């Protein structure tokens, strides 16, 4: 074994170690398949070069790129998929935020769904808080004719929905939440 072969083996081992660290957040069965496929691809790309083994391995690693970067989208989609199966808003908010940060068209959709989840939480808050603060929360009409929906520090002349604001806010928020949860799972499942 030449020094170039030893250097190539060290580069390969380092790359596969970084790949294993990135795959630690992926489900085990998927991670095992991805590792086998990516290691085979690395060897195939490195074996096709006419340069020394170390240079060929460096070129193959450069071509494949950093495992943390190209697995980020897969990991973010998996987190959204898992969070969309539950009913707690916090995991879905976190996973949609991560997915939006990764980017791409799914990141753009995740940003929209993130705003939808926030709107659902706001609707439930308006519904729950409106009986306690009837002149500050709900569908409010002011003395000067302005109308607003939500929470305001300015006291309104009247609340237009009456006691219907509680079931409308809560039911509307839950429906919007379920819709966002459903679409988050659907978008993350597409490959």
In tens, the pLDDT along 15-72 reads 999 999 888 877 787 788 888 988 888 888 888 766 788 888 888 888 888 888 878 8
Domain assignment of residue 21, given as a range: 1-65
Which of 30, 65, 100 marks a domain boundary? 65
- Is 80 in the same domain as 56? no
Which of 22, 44, 65 marks a domain boundary? 65
The answer to whether residues 115 and 97 touch, using CB atoms and an 8 Å cutoff, is no
Which of 65, 80, 115 marks a domain boundary? 65
Instruction: Tell me the C-alpha to C-alpha distance, in Å, between residue 141 and each of 11, 46, 58.
Output: 69, 70, 68
Task: Tell me how long the chain is.
Answer: 191
- Is 60 in the same domain as 31? yes
Domains contained in the chain, number: 2
Predicted TM-score (pTM) of the model is 0.68
Q: How many CA atoms lie within 13 A of 64 on its CB side?
A: 25
Encode pLDDT of 139-187 as tens digits.
899 989 899 988 898 888 888 888 898 999 999 999 999 999 999 988 8
Encode pLDDT of 66-102 as tens digits.
888 878 888 888 888 888 888 888 999 999 998 999 8
- Is 40 in the same domain as 92? no
CB-count exposure of residue 173 (10 Å: 0-12, 13-18, 19+) = buried
- Is 90 in the same domain as 179? yes
Question: pLDDT value at position 49?
Answer: 64
- Is 3 in the same domain as 54? yes
């Amino acid at each position: 074994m030449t020094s170039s072969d030893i250097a190539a083996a060290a580069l390969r081992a380092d790359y596969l170690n970084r790949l294993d660290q990135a795959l630690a957040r992926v489900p085990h069965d998927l991670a095992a398949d991805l590792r086998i496929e990516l290691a085979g691809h690395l060897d195939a790309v490195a074996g096709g070069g006419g340069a020394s083994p170390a240079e060929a391995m460096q070129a193959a690693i450069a071509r494949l790129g950093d495992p943390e970067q190209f697995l980020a989208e897969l990991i973010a989609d998996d987190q959204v998929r898992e969070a969309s199966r539950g009913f707690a808003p916090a995991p879905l908010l976190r996973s949609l935020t991560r997915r939006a940060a990764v980017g791409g068209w799914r990141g753009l959709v995740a940003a929209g769904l993130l705003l939808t989840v926030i709107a659902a939480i706001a609707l439930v808050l308006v519904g729950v808080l409106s009986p306690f603060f009837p002149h500050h929360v709900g569908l409010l009409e002011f003395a000067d004719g302005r109308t607003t929906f939500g929470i305001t520090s300015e006291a309104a002349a009247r609340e237009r929905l009456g006691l219907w604001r509680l079931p409308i806010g809560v039911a509307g928020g839950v429906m919007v939440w379920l819709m966002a949860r459903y679409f988050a799972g659907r978008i993350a499942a597409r490959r």
